Chain A
């Protein structure tokens, strides 16, 4: 165990740090008043800048546009992004899930064709997994694909598709063998969202935005060479993607949480409570300290997980604890924010009394989805119970 940076890591960090100091946009978090699309365009531009600077895909192979560095340098990257208060990157699904899946399962042609576009944000990705009747029971999905010459013809409906409205491409899971047992007849394919027959409908969520979409596929023709991994072995590919999702989404979240807890601490000094700064209120101090501690523990958990992945090469089912940890922590953190801000916590951006342009009322509502998206807390606990602890299957 050694938290000291190697000379190579130190050089990497110093280089990155000075690059971020020169290039990180300021006051970007107050851009929430802009539309979702406007904000996304801003993040996309930011990712492009990172890419041009050589900072996207730290641990991805060099020949596909990555930096070819270690996973630990990837971790340092997130830390430095947090320290610099840098905005996140736009192509979250592509960077966190689709890219690693293509690297692990894709053909040479797929790697060459798609990876650079993910890093540069030239091509935004979504993932087509959940369906109206296949949520937690993902393997029950019904979207089907039939081979017709050199193409698959896809019909079906996906739901909760994040970034569907912005996506150029979709990592889609479909049923290619309806006669096989449900886990055995699935295939993963890469689908051009501009193909005829793809229809995206916004899905308005409780925050008022439409981050998610429903995506309909009607006789959509997908070239057979766009299949990732083996036909009818899509379940293994999907699980690979989801394990990346559980592991890597958390790493990006850590950046945000560190900022948020620091901001809450700052606010506690200026918010008055019983005639003194809230930061002097013993109950508020306890709650801020607990949140601060949990954010650091989330980071320590991730560092252990990343060290394990760099040794074994793949994320394991224990990534489910990262997913539970970050999602439930965010809900606790947002509630502490509400307690600190009192009645101001409910104010949305348009109100002149709103704090941080309404970021806390938005954050509170948005956090409610965290324990549902990317696999519910219940499903994560099933995974830990069965695959990590070896308990019998519960379903």
Chain B
């Protein structure tokens, strides 16, 4: 038992950090945020060349065949860099669900183009009155054709395929198929664009193993929690740096305990969110019995903590933190959008309650010999 990154994981994390620092500096993020899609073709080709678009997929499908912990490390670094565009939607959402729900031939058909960088994909889940509650979804397939409206679909504007979650099935549609209508939504995060996807009598492919959805969504949720940790870390780093250099009353503001203690809390929240995300990743990787609880714990904590860390960071930056020019608001916007995506803290607390309060007396999933 060892709850620390191994050497190859450290190498992957460090090289991702270096890659994003070089290819995705804040100036690039801001340029991407000014576009309607936040998508950059050249960057996408480089992400594919790094193997990031196929990180968790089998080598048989053109992937790199790494595990959930590696995915989480990549997403953490992507979050730190505020990577714009569809990597998360393609790999961690659509890709993870495809990997978990598709039959062998379907996997190759859909995952290989993603891994090779030839296709982008996304996940269409939420409907007007559903939230992230599957039982509230209306969409069903009739003779292999889909009708319905999906909201808050990330990066649908640049997706080649869309994985659509129905009440009792998981489907793939071609984004250009007749009957598919995609329109932008005006979300506050300009680095991850949201869309409505309307489906009117659309030809759909039904995935062979829809029971895998829980696992696919769990991987996506954990990856998102990790991405949020990356954003928190960057916010903390910027804030500590500012507190060391900004002077008032003749000394750095970081020398004042009112400021220092907020930084300490940011550190505590960031590290705790990281522990929770890593733990969830390991349980998913090992298919441990407490994985469902661990995933909800990671997301509920990250959802609250990333908001709090953002608030503290901007507060310590004072007026500068409130300006458009300062990068903090871009992280703050991403944090708010991610907070609700794949279920907010309240959603995941209720999900956790079903797992640990409604289960048999004294049944604690985390108890089972997992250290």
Contact = CB atoms under 8 A, between A and B. Distances in A.
Contacts of B278: 1, 300, 304
Contacts of A339: none
A230 interface: no
Nearest to B297: A293
Tell me if A's interface is mostly helix, strand, loop or mixed.
Answer: helix
B3 A5 contact: no
B268 A325 contact: yes
B260 interface: yes
A350 interface: no
B4 A307 contact: yes
A381 B255 CA distance: 12
Contacts of B371: 3, 5, 72, 75-76, 79, 303
Interface in A1-48: 1-6, 9, 13
Contact of A76 (B1, B243, B256, B367): B1
A354 interface: no
B5 A285 contact: no
Contacts of B69: 1
B2 A1 contact: yes
Contact of A325 (B1, B272, B283, B370): B272
Interface residues of B, number: 59
Nearest to A294: B301
A388 B254 CA distance: 13
Interface stretch (B85-93, B133-141, B357-365): B357-365
B316 to A, nearest CB: 11
Contact of B361 (A82, A266, A282, A318): A266
B178 interface: no
Contact of B261 (A266, A290, A378): A378
B252 A3 contact: no
Given A2-B2, A324-B268, A378-B261, A391 B240 contact: yes
Contacts of A321: 267-268, 271-272
Given A296-B294, A296-B297, A325-B272, A289 B2 contact: no
Interface in A260-292: 262, 265-266, 268-269, 279, 282, 285-286, 288-290, 292
A297 B349 contact: no
B9 to A, nearest CB: 7
B263 A265 contact: no
Contacts of B271: 301, 304, 318, 321
Contacts of A75: 1, 371
Interface in B291-305: 293-294, 296-297, 300-301
The 8 closest A-B pairs by CB, nearest first: A385-B260, A391-B254, A307-B4, A300-B275, A384-B264, A381-B264, A289-B349, A285-B353
Given A308-B4, A394-B260, A289 B255 contact: no
B171 interface: no
B1 A3 contact: yes
B27 interface: no
A381 B265 contact: yes
B276 interface: yes
A150 interface: no
Given A1-B69, A265-B357, A394 B255 contact: yes
Contacts of B64: none
B282 interface: yes
B105 interface: no
Contact of A384 (B1, B256, B267): B267
B251 interface: yes
Interface string A370-382: 0000000010111
Contact of B9 (A1, A83, A269, A324): A1
A59 to B, nearest CB: 14
Contacts of A268: 357
Contacts of B251: 392
B200 interface: no
A4 B286 CA distance: 8
24 contacts: A1-B9, A1-B278, A3-B1, A3-B3, A72-B2, A262-B364, A268-B357, A286-B353, A289-B349, A289-B352, A290-B349, A294-B301, A296-B279, A297-B276, A300-B279, A307-B2, A307-B4, A320-B264, A321-B268, A385-B261, A385-B263, A391-B243, A391-B259, A392-B244
B366 A299 contact: yes
B349 A285 contact: yes
Contact of A296 (B5, B240, B293): B293
B309 to A, nearest CB: 13
A311 interface: yes
Given A268-B357, A296-B366, A325-B272, A394 B257 contact: yes
Contacts of B361: 266, 269
Contacts of A393: 255
A391 B350 contact: no
Given A304-B278, A391-B255, A297 B356 contact: no
A289 B254 CA distance: 35
A265 B283 CA distance: 23
Given A279-B358, A297-B276, A391-B260, A3 B364 contact: no
B41 interface: no
Contacts of A290: 300, 349
A129 interface: no
B356 A300 contact: no
B288 A288 contact: no
B1 A382 contact: no
A235 interface: no
A262 to B, nearest CB: 5
A114 interface: no
Interface centre among B254, B353, B371 (most CB of A within 10 A): B371
Contacts of A13: 369
B142 interface: no
A76 B369 CA distance: 8
B346 interface: yes
A389 interface: yes
A177 to B, nearest CB: 29
A389 B267 contact: yes
Contacts of B276: 293, 296-297, 300
Interface centre among A289, A308, A320, A380 (most CB of B within 10 A): A289
A229 B6 CA distance: 35
Nearest to B72: A1
Interface in A64-113: 72, 75-76, 79, 82-83
A152 B135 CA distance: 75
Contacts of B370: 3
B370 to A, nearest CB: 6
A307 B352 contact: no
A258 interface: yes
A130 B139 CA distance: 66
Interface string B225-266: 000000000000000100110000001101111011101110
Contacts of A320: 264
A384 B259 CA distance: 12
